[in-house]
Amino acid sequence: MLSFLLLYITSNLGYLDFNTLKELLGVTDGNLASHLKYLEKAGYLTYKKKFVGRKPNTNYTATTSGINAFKKHIHAIEKLLNSH
């Protein structure tokens, strides 16, 4: 479910940093990091690293593949709901 929410948020809001995602989703660092890594390996998220002052800052967004996978998942849920 968290991966699904990450794709939803980043496909609609664009690049967001780790702390913003953590606050929006109310999850732990480790939980968020593992889902981000999974989605990145699947090619569904991409990231940009930069420095804010002297601190590293990583921002994530959904890729075209991630957006397409998200839409496909939504369509499958709608189809399931409409079949009953």
Distance CA(32)–CA(6), nearest Å, equals 9
Distance CA(64)–CA(78), nearest Å, equals 21
Task: Indicate the fold that domain 2-82 takes in CATH.
Answer: Arc Repressor Mutant, subunit A (1.10.10)
Domain spans of the chain, in order of start? 2-82
The predicted-structure confidence for 40-80, as pLDDT tens digits, reads as follows 999 999 999 999 899 999 999 999 999 999 999 999 999 99
| 23 touches 79 (CB < 8 A) | no
pTM of the full structure: 0.86
Given a cut of 90, whether residue 84 has pLDDT beyond it is no
Distance CA(44)–CA(68), nearest Å, equals 9
Element (H, E) at 11: helix 2-13
Outline where DSSP puts E strands in 1-84: 16-17, 45-52, 55-62
